Amino acid sequence: MSGAASQGRKRGRRLEDLSGPEIAEQITESAVIVQPIGAVEQHGPHLPLSVDHVIAHESAAALVAEHGDAHDLWLLPTLSISKSNEHAWSAGTLWLSAQTLLAVLDDIGRSVAATAARRLVFLNGHGGNSALLNVACREVRLAHGLMTFLVHPFVPADQGGASPDSEMGMGIHGGHEETSVFMHLRPELVHLEKARRAVPERLAANRYVRFGGMASFGWLSNDFGPDGHIGDPTGANAREGKQLFETAVALLGEQMAEIAAWEFGNDQN
């Protein structure tokens, strides 16, 4: 093991723990910089505002701990406040405008580009960020020349991810799987006795205008009920959450293998 790799393992591969001179020694062209992005927003009466922050932070930390040496991953501090204005109706939700978040991500990209690293990954724990982060990937690539990527520990059901049949494909916020994962990560913060089913079943009859349908729509989290969650958390459990979390980290590791090897090139003969 090289000296750089040994130091990376010793310090947990957190870029912030390196000294200035060590950046030049250890952050090389092979480095993959991982930026976790969460949110602080309401998740119904049974979960705290920290859900998306915690899931993004813990997923990224586990990813770098388990796969960092293999793929030269380096962890940035979690960006906890992001674009959460679909929950702005609920006091306590903290959110940035689209313009502000794009500016912040551009600044992060510019900072990463000052190192030798060529790959920047946004690891997103909040579905409300996804469309904007796809825009950010292209803007940061154009402005700073980095190869940019967007990954999710759990792809939201309204963006093609899985949701239990009992939720009819609509467990998109504070539902069964998200609550289960959080019960695994922070069981002391879950109040399952306050959980209730909140699935907008009328949308299931729609062929196109529905979560994950061909015709998307703008929505706020209180459009479907006063509690602000969308799904059925009543049967959530920590055992399933542990399995979901470990599977997600393993899948992220597989994605990092391809990202670490990714290069743009001219494939024309």
Domain extents in the chain: 29-254
How far apart CA 227 and CA 43 sit, in angstroms, is 8
Beta bridge partners of 32: 73, 119
Contact 202, 168 (CB under 8 A): no
What are the backbone angles phi and psi of residue 171, rounded to the nearest 5°?
-85, 70
Q: Which of left, alpha, beta for 97 (phi over 0: left; psi -120 to 50: alpha)?
A: beta
In sequence order, the 6+-apart residues with CB closer than 8 A to the CB of 70 are 253, 257
* pLDDT tens for each residue of 118-162: 999 999 999 999 999 999 999 999 999 999 999 999 988 888 888
CA 114 to chain centre: 24
How far apart CA 33 and CA 250 sit, in angstroms, is 18
In sequence order, the 6+-apart residues with CB closer than 8 A to the CB of 134 are 150
Q: What is the pLDDT of residue 36?
A: 98
- What single-letter amino acid sits at 16? E
The first and second tokens of residue 112, run together, are 């990463």
How far apart CA 220 and CA 34 sit, in angstroms, is 29
Q: Residue length, the chain?
A: 269
Supply the mean pLDDT for the chain: 93
* pLDDT tens for each residue of 47-80: 999 999 999 999 999 999 999 999 999 999 999 9
In sequence order, the 6+-apart residues with CB closer than 8 A to the CB of 123 are 34, 35, 36, 37, 56, 59, 60, 63, 151, 152, 153, 252
What average pLDDT does range 223-239 have in this prediction? 96
Contact 110, 143 (CB under 8 A): yes
Q: What is the pLDDT of residue 11?
A: 56
How far apart CA 257 and CA 250 sit, in angstroms, is 11
What class is the 29-254 domain? alpha beta
Q: What is the pLDDT of residue 28?
A: 98
